[in-house]
Structure 1
């Protein structure tokens, strides 16, 4: 703030300056963005340095040509081959492989989905189509390549529980269940839902064994009844004969 003071017509003008602090605190770490004209001036005054590429070869100066050469020569890298081998091992060792179409979802939601599948002993994995094609091409599993169109995900399980799988699917509508491979059999979504209503195969085996044992026990009891009746009749007859002999004496 400044004030101009003068005492006469031809006197020297003296300026009185008083420093005044801005009423708001200035944020040094995150300063306020400049207005449009000032930002435009900053952008125009930003220096631009020309790279000295005179020593480079002509084929290296063209980025598009270099990209095409890298794609043709290095179509698959070593890391992708390792991922493909691990993926094929998962296909061979898993009893259930669920295929999903993945709609756009945040990283937090995807982590929650991974944790939910991990709790029921299932692995949630996301692979590119090139890696999947490198892993299962010319194998019995190559039929799912036609379903890998856009963003997809896979769920692997060695000891599957289909009811729990469908329950987790309801929690994440961004993951659309397409089909599954169950014990080397390709199943649609409707087939998986029907299979979940059947129940676990171990439970079905226990019920079958219980039914067979029940009929066998009934058969043993029926056979034992005739033998027990015959034994009881013979014992009674022997008692009667013993009584008669004693009475005659």
Structure 2
């Protein structure tokens, strides 16, 4: 109670204690840290501690065991259809299919059917599994993304390319024609080769020409010999007629 009264009296009289704590502002920093010398920087970089990398866990080194899924009845059926398509057709072309409307695809299918050429769609998984152990395994790198097959029982490369040029959304990747794998440029070169009928006609005409030339060469010598003999006979007969006239 006395302490409280003393504080009240000091406040009324304006009395202050003799010791007071005064806070002064800090001085401005005038010394800055100097940059490290270049040689020392190199030395510090060389002697810097490098912590060892953590060991790679075993699960990242050993590949995971992938269990082969059992084939369903639908997969077996599609594989049989694919094997039938590959065995019955001489021309098998692989195309990359970009976004295409249903109407454009239907029109393309109709134009190809005019030349007895068919469009076939198979998933890349089925194609890889079926072609990996067949003679068409070199075609596997072509089946990436959205692809389709253009097949025909006869070699009609020229007709196929003529129809496909009208559809810029589909690009040729390669083909297998009569058990021969061709690139895009090879297919274009194959389309410029004349048909078998034209080749047969040219062969027959060349053989006929050679036969006629052979006959003329064979008959030339006897005819020439016959002409010489006839000329000789005429000369001898003329001399025989002149001799009796001179004797008379």
Displacement after TM superposition at 1:196 (Å): 1.6
Displacement after TM superposition at 1:119 (Å): 0.9
Q: Which residue of 2 aligns with 1:90?
A: 85
Q: Is the 8 A contact 1:133 1:145 kept in 2?
A: yes
Displacement after TM superposition at 1:150 (Å): 1.4
Q: Which residue of 2 aligns with 1:188?
A: 183
Structure showing greater relative contact order (alpha-carbon pairs closer than 8 Å, 6 or more residues apart): 2
What are the residue-to-residue correspondences of 1:43-192 with 2, within 5 Å?
75-192=70-187
CA RMSD in angstroms, aligned pairs only = 2.7
Look up the SS of the partner of 1:121 in the other structure.
coil
In the alignment, the residues of structure 2 paired with residue 143 and residue 73 of structure 1 have an alpha-carbon distance, to the nearest angstrom, of: 24
Look up the SS of the partner of 1:198 in the other structure.
coil
Q: Which runs of 5+ in 1 are unaligned?
A: 1-71
Q: Is the 8 A contact 1:81 1:134 kept in 2?
A: no
Q: For each residue in 1:183-206, what CA deviation from the matched residue of structure 2 results, as whole angstroms up to 9, or x when unmatched? A: 111111111112222322442343
Look up the SS of the partner of 1:104 in the other structure.
coil
In the alignment, the residues of structure 2 paired with residue 200 and residue 171 of structure 1 have an alpha-carbon distance, to the nearest angstrom, of: 23
Q: Is the 8 A contact 2:142 2:174 kept in 1?
A: no
Displacement after TM superposition at 1:98 (Å): 0.7
In the alignment, the residues of structure 2 paired with residue 78 and residue 150 of structure 1 have an alpha-carbon distance, to the nearest angstrom, of: 25
- Equivalenced residue count is 178
In the alignment, the residues of structure 1 paired with residue 88 and residue 240 of structure 2 have an alpha-carbon distance, to the nearest angstrom, of: 81
Q: For each residue in 1:157-192, what CA deviation from the matched residue of structure 2 results, as whole angstroms up to 9, or x when unmatched? A: 121222111111111111111111111111111111
In the alignment, the residues of structure 2 paired with residue 199 and residue 75 of structure 1 have an alpha-carbon distance, to the nearest angstrom, of: 48
Q: For each residue in 1:28-84, what CA deviation from the matched residue of structure 2 results, as whole angstroms up to 9, or x when unmatched? A: xxxxxxxxxxxxxxxxxxxxxxxxxxxxxxxxxxxxxxxxxxxx8964322321221
In the alignment, the residues of structure 1 paired with residue 147 and residue 167 of structure 2 have an alpha-carbon distance, to the nearest angstrom, of: 14
In the alignment, the residues of structure 1 paired with residue 208 and residue 159 of structure 2 have an alpha-carbon distance, to the nearest angstrom, of: 31
Look up the SS of the partner of 2:176 in the other structure.
strand
Q: For each residue in 1:68-108, what CA deviation from the matched residue of structure 2 results, as whole angstroms up to 9, or x when unmatched? A: xxxx8964322321221221122123221110011111111
My pick for the range that moved more, 229-238 or 92-101, is 229-238
Q: Which residue of 1 aligns with 2:23?
A: none
In the alignment, the residues of structure 1 paired with residue 108 and residue 69 of structure 2 have an alpha-carbon distance, to the nearest angstrom, of: 34
In the alignment, the residues of structure 2 paired with residue 95 and residue 121 of structure 1 have an alpha-carbon distance, to the nearest angstrom, of: 12
* TM-score normalised by the chain length of structure 1: 0.62
